[in-house]
Structure 1
Amino acid sequence: MSSSLTIGKLAKAADVKVPTIRFYEQIGLLPEPDRTDNDRRVYQEATVRRLAFIKHARQLGFPIEAVRSLLDLSDHPEQTCDSANALAEEQLASVEHKIAQLAALRTELKRMVAAGCRGAAADCQVIESLANHDLCQQDHGASEPRRSH
């Protein structure tokens, strides 16, 4: 790989789409690229690593603002990693909440499927359960836990 990449080559190297790169530039997660004389964007090797960092953080579910904070820490390695730990703990709590919510959804869906019906839709337990949340045995509609950052 050369030391200067077009946006297409950067996208391929980082395994992301070109619009993703433009979006990350627009919101300031990626720096503005250098431009050639004919105004084409060119990127350095460091951008591949930064984009890989962002992609990995997003795959782990970190929200954009958390990614921004983590990138800032990465850009300033002399800082303590306390906030990185806090962000990771927050993300873990969010994932655990989602897992619990999905488990409740699975339980409720299994109950609905087991109750089902074999006759007319008017007598269908699935339709009745969807129409009346009070018939559900589990609270599966809880909202996300509030974030402190």
Structure 2
Amino acid sequence: MATMTIAALAREGGVGVETVRYYQRRGLLRTPQKTGGSALSGGIRRYGAEDARRLKFIRSGQSAGFTLEEIGELLALDAGQDRARARTLARERIESLDRKIAELQAARASLTRLAEACAASDAGPCPIIEAFEPS
């Protein structure tokens, strides 16, 4: 039963109203018809438990690092028939996360070396600031 306003749906999903609208524009969430309106007033869109479930799915997918395009594909998959594609998407996301982790670890190591070099001597320019200045 559709009883929630867009504000209530947004609260339920832990997002803002504009985020719900954005997901609607992207085709990830449905945009229900307005109900209860007259010729002068447009009525109110009502959302239900399925909309809240879908919104939470989107947010969980984003937390796992999936793009909105990938989340859209996951939403379109048949839960019982498309396990191979879901696994492929998950493996691709894992590979992407592994690359990002390697980049972050390299950046951390570089910054650690700069911080140690900065602490080693008070003479001359700071190695941290010097490393980020354009040549």
SS in 1 for 2:112: helix
Deviation of 1:118 (Å): 2.0
Alignment gaps of 5+ in structure 1? 134-149
- Name the residue aligned to 2:76: 72
Within-5 A mapping of 1:23-102: 23-38=22-37, 39-73=43-77, 76-102=78-104
SS in 2 for 1:57: helix
TM-score under structure 2 length normalisation = 0.86
Deviation of 1:41 (Å): 1.4
Report Cα offsets for 1:7-50 as digits up to 9, x if no partner.
Answer: 11111122211111000001100011231132211112110100
Take 1:85 and 1:54, find their aligned partners in 2: how far apart are those partners? 17
The 3 A distance-change label for structure 1 pair 78 and 125 is closer
Take 2:80 and 2:130, find their aligned partners in 1: how far apart are those partners? 59
Which of 102, 105, 112 does residue 103 from structure 1 map onto?
105
Take 2:84 and 2:21, find their aligned partners in 1: how far apart are those partners? 31
The 3 A distance-change label for structure 1 pair 37 and 104 is same
Deviation above 6 Å: which 4+ runs of structure 1?
A: none
- Name the residue aligned to 2:40: none
CA contact (8 A) 2:29 2:55 kept: yes
- Name the residue aligned to 1:6: 5
SS in 2 for 1:79: coil
Alignment gaps of 5+ in structure 2? 38-42
Which of 126, 129, 134 does residue 127 from structure 1 map onto?
129
Take 1:17 and 1:23, find their aligned partners in 2: how far apart are those partners? 10
Question: Would you say how many aligned residue pairs link Structure 1 and Structure 2?
Answer: 128
TM-score under structure 1 length normalisation = 0.78
Take 1:45 and 1:80, find their aligned partners in 2: how far apart are those partners? 24
% identical equivalent positions: 35
- Name the residue aligned to 1:140: none
